[in-house]
Amino acid sequence: MLIAVLTAPVGVSGAVFLLPVQLSLLNVPSPAITPTNLLYNVVATPGALARYRADGRLFGPLTRLLICGTLPGVVAGAAVRVFAVPGTGVFRVLVALLLLPLGVWLCARTLRPPRRPSPAEPSRRFTVLLALAVGVAGGVYGIGGGSLLGPILAGRGMPVARVAPAALAATFVTSVAGAAAYALLSLTGAGGGPGQVAPDWRLGLMCGLIGGYLGARLQPRLPETALRLLLGGLATALALLYFAQSLT
């Protein structure tokens, strides 16, 4: 719940921080980690989405673009995860290499804004292709995608208050599709036998529902500067955590 409170205001479900906890502390077997994360996304995001909908900030062109990209991507990623079984070590290093400079840059830019105008918002094609790539990564590794979409889109000039609802909506839709894909694949015996790729239901349902709602309710009370610093700080912290885990 606390993770969801901190991450929902910037469009992150919190499952991306659940991944290292599953790996390092709870010893959840692979590949069950991925569908468990997706299940957590399904539970943690509706509270935040309900709040954003009440504020009239949920539905819009950005939400549709992100869903159009991430939805097919997560289904493809689930198949890759089960049949190709890529390791998590390389993924963590790649995510860390992406998020560390992005998070530091976002914090630095927020604390000391440049004199030149902000960069133009990304095009529709860029947004859909970015969402597709993030969807595949989400299907393979069980991240909702908000932790990647948020910093990138905010860094390209979009306000966090606009990005967060769209990123969470895409996270919810793709997580439902991804969890369903893993459930079906587990019935076929793929990934090591029936049930081996099914989610850990107890862990996945340890609910971030209330936390997500509280985080979304908190967002309008935070200035854009605080939201950008929070998003940049989360990206930097996750990158450092993944770097540390890749060395162990």
pTM attached to this predicted model: 0.71
**Into how many domains does the chain fold?**
1
DSSP-derived 3-state class of residue 73: helix
Residue 201: which domain range?
A: 2-247
**99: amino acid identity, one letter:** L
Q: What is the DSSP letter of 116?
A: S
Phi, psi of 44 (to 5 degrees): -80, -25
DSSP-derived 3-state class of residue 182: helix
In the prediction, which pLDDT does 129 show?
92
pLDDT along the chain (248 residues), means of 10: 76 69 63 69 78 80 89 80 63 75 81 66 88 82 74 82 86 80 68 52 62 79 84 84 75
Q: What is the DSSP letter of 23?
A: I
Q: Is the peptide bond before 31 cis (omega within 30 degrees of 0)?
A: yes
C-alpha to C-alpha distance for 86 and 132, rounded to whole angstroms: 19
In the prediction, which pLDDT does 194 show?
44
